[in-house]
Chains A and B, each alone.
Chain A
Amino acid sequence: MADIAFLLLIFFLVTTTMDVDTGIIRRLPPPVEEEIDQKIKERNIMNVLVNKNDRLLVNGLPGSVESLKDVAKNFMMPHYPDNPNYPEVELKNINLLGDIYTSKGVISLKNDRGTSYDMYIRVQNELARAFNELRDELSRERFGVKFSQLTDEDRVKAINEAIPVRISEAEPESIGGQ
């Protein structure tokens, strides 16, 4: 009996893969029927371009992945009083948080067809890190714990509303070829 059990046990031991699927979760925008020129003020946009050689252009200047997080964080932080070098701020009344200034900034990410997937994920990761750090800071300040450790659904919602992940991916264009 024990032998058969052993045999089966070894079979299942070998075939088991205990990997948990992890990844960066994003939401795609619905398709646009025709080009609508959405007017967003220049100061509210941070442009991130990745070319086919995996080089970065942040707001028209060459940038690096290492510094991208700090630049994005600085950009997305609500600056009050109104500062023309940073995105506009808006006074919002959010449940649990009360009146709070939220940034109207949007990070526009554009990549080329020739950009490597590895680089794309690194950029996405850095941008996600910027948002997560901002959320952590706000969460610590208001609720005393990190954002990821918030258990109350309403609090998570409140922080989400105060610092929404605003990464816009431009319609693809082929510039540099494959």
Chain B
Amino acid sequence: MSKFKTKKGKGSPAINTSSLPDIIFMLLFFFMVTTVMREVTLKVKMKLPTATEVQKLEKKSLVSYIYIGPPTNAAMYGTESRIQLNDQFARVNEIPEFIASEREARNEADRPLLTTSLKVHNETKMGVVTDVKQELRKAGSFRINYSTLKGIAK
């Protein structure tokens, strides 16, 4: 008789799953904290140009966005590039108002640091963009950012 049995043909024991919820919760909290919900629904097509010399936008709370591009619903709004502020299409002369309300929403100390990020579809003509830039100058919002993807330009 042998005292020391060789374990053969028994297979591996089942993995202890009692700590599984903890791991899942940890992941869940991570994603919950890092998630930023999209604030606006895009009504224009967005295909950003690529550039190599890009800088990161610091402090997302101090950035306001202006979207310019051809409308997604071409049958209704045509294919000419339009400006979108918040959730709706806007005309160029509505920009000062938009900037004013964006300024209003920030506290006093942050207002001069407000950056306007221009998210422009890459097939847009510069005419619209130039108009927007002129309006921004008039509104006194001088810090702008041409939103681009990082990569090698084709």
A contact set with B: CB distance below 8 Å: 1-2, 5-6, 8-9, 12-13, 15-18, 20-31, 111-118, 120-122, 124-125, 128-129, 132, 172, 174, 178
Instruction: Please classify the interface of chain B as helix (H, G, I), strand (E, B), loop, or mixed, using the class held by over half of its residues.
Output: mixed
Judging by beta carbons under 8 Å apart, are A16 and B55 in contact? Answer: no
Q: When the two chains form the complex, which single residue of A6, A8, A22, A115 contacts B147, counting CB atoms closer than 8 Å?
A: A22
Instruction: Please classify the interface of chain A as helix (H, G, I), strand (E, B), loop, or mixed, using the class held by over half of its residues.
Output: mixed
Q: A17-B38, A22-B56 are in contact. Are A111 and B31 (CB under 8 A)?
A: no
Question: What's the minimum C-beta distance from A11 to chain B, rounded to whole angstroms?
Answer: 9
List of A residues within 8 angstroms of B146 by Cβ: 23-24, 26, 121, 124
Task: Judge if B24 is at the interface, Cβ distance under 8 Å.
Answer: yes
Task: Judge if B2 is at the interface, Cβ distance under 8 Å.
Answer: no
Q: A117-B123, A117-B126 are in contact. Are A172 and B134 (CB under 8 A)?
A: yes
**How many residues of B are counted as interface, with CB atoms below 8 angstroms from the partner's CB atoms?**
52
Task: Judge if B142 is at the interface, Cβ distance under 8 Å.
Answer: yes
Q: CB-nearest residue of chain B relative to A18?
A: B34
Task: List 11 extra interface pairs beyond A9-B27, A15-B37, CB under 8 A.
Answer: A12-B28, A12-B32, A21-B56, A26-B144, A27-B142, A30-B140, A116-B122, A121-B49, A125-B148, A128-B51, A129-B52
Bound form: Cα–Cα A16–B137 in Å? 35
Q: When the two chains form the complex, which single residue of A16, A26, A128, A172 contacts B130, counting CB atoms closer than 8 Å?
A: A172
Judging by beta carbons under 8 Å apart, are A22 and B142 in contact? Answer: no
Question: What's the minimum C-beta distance from A170 to chain B, rounded to whole angstroms?
Answer: 11
List of A residues within 8 angstroms of B54 by Cβ: 22-24
Question: What's the minimum C-beta distance from A119 to chain B, rounded to whole angstroms?
Answer: 8
